[in-house]
Amino acid sequence: MELRNLRTFQVVAEELNMTKAAKRLKYTQPTITLQIQSLEKELNHTLITRVGKKTMLTTAGKKLKEHVDHLFVLLEKMERDMESLRGPSGILTIAASEYYCTHHLSPLIKTYMEMYPEVKVRLLPLNSVHAIQSVKDQVADMAIIASECNESELRKTFLEEEQTLLVVSEELARGRAYQEIVSEYSFISYNEDCSFSRIIDYYFKNSQFQPRSTIMVGGSDEMIKRAVLNGTGYAILGENIIKKEIEEGLITVLEKIDKPIITSAIHLKFRSNEPNIETFHEFLQNAWPVHQE
């Protein structure tokens, strides 16, 4: 059954006038007649009849018209979908921590969208643990994470390695030895489900002490840094977020931790060839790292 003949039938069924149908299709009337006859022979049903000067659809013709209309709607959708795969378009959702969203992804996304204006990027602020799950659940297309991830269905791409530091405010450190600080003041921690938990657990497992008390202030790097600057206690932070404060003498480094933050981009392996994911993945590898001054 040829689509050309079905399309001719659809137009004739809409117009119920051979002259108008021929004009729309840019066919001669004999050509249209031959196509309709060919379709009727193939289906073994009369589709169009004439009563006097009036052209009408038979019962079979009306039923076929319903199917043909649905068929061409599906074909048009298929063509649009295939066309969209020629290049990036639509929405790209990226899950990442608040810090990555603010300090890294904002300038990168601006450049990416200038390169691919048909793509709209949506940021989903989540810690690394939840970001990984969002990719697995296909809530997010990609994620930028700062934790270990060995899920077999995910493709992981290394972006950056960042030094982790045990730090305290300069004011709190002034005139106090390391041992005095860690024994008398509280450790400022992230939530238990945060990606930093593994680094924190590793540090205290390999240290000669446990914190006297722990204050959990959430999953935000900025909140942890602010608590340190306010003299609330000491904390483990990545070097990038406190680089300026260290240079200005506002934060003192007590110890460098030998377990770094590994920043990676992840997405589901079976989606690697999707244009949005493929182009942003390639762009990230060339553009990362980006550090705000």
DSSP letters spanning 32-54? HHHHHHHHHHHHTS--EEEETTE
Residues 42, 172, single domain; the answer is: no
Total domains present in the chain = 3
C-alpha dihedral sign at 73, 54, 24, 12: positive
Looking at the fold, whether 155 and 169 belong to one and the same domain comes out as no
| Domain shared by 167 and 27, yes or no | no
pLDDT of res. 84: 63
What pLDDT was estimated at residue 85?
65
Q: Residue 293: what pLDDT?
A: 41
Q: What is the separation of C-alpha 103 from the centre of its chain, rounded to a whole number of angstroms?
A: 18
Reduced to 3 states (helix: H, G, I; strand: E, B; else coil), residue 43 is helix
Per-residue tokens: 185: 């003041």
The answer to whether residues 101 and 123 touch, using CB atoms and an 8 Å cutoff, is: yes
And the tokens for 21? 């149908």
Distance CA 270, CA 142 (A): 12
Considering the domain architecture, whether residues 211 and 268 belong to the same structural domain is answered as no
Task: Quote the pLDDT of residue 221.
Answer: 85
Which three-class secondary structure state does DSSP give residue 238?
Answer: strand
Considering the domain architecture, whether residues 110 and 184 belong to the same structural domain is answered as no
Nearest to 167 by CA among 238, 230, 234, 256: 234
- For residue 101, the enclosing domain spans 90-160+263-287
**Tell me, what's the pLDDT at 119?**
94
| Residues 267 and 277: beta-carbon distance below 8 Å | yes
The answer as to whether 293 is a domain residue is no
Q: Which of 84, 107, 125 is the last residue of a domain?
A: 84
Is pTM beyond 0.75? Reply is: no
- Looking at 45, 68, 84, which one is the last position of a domain? 84
Q: What residues of the chain score a pLDDT lower than 50?
A: 291-293
CATH number at residue 218: 3.40.190.290
pLDDT in the model for residue 155: 96
Q: What is the pLDDT of residues 135-177, one digit of tens each?
A: 999 999 999 998 888 899 999 999 999 999 999 999 999 999 9
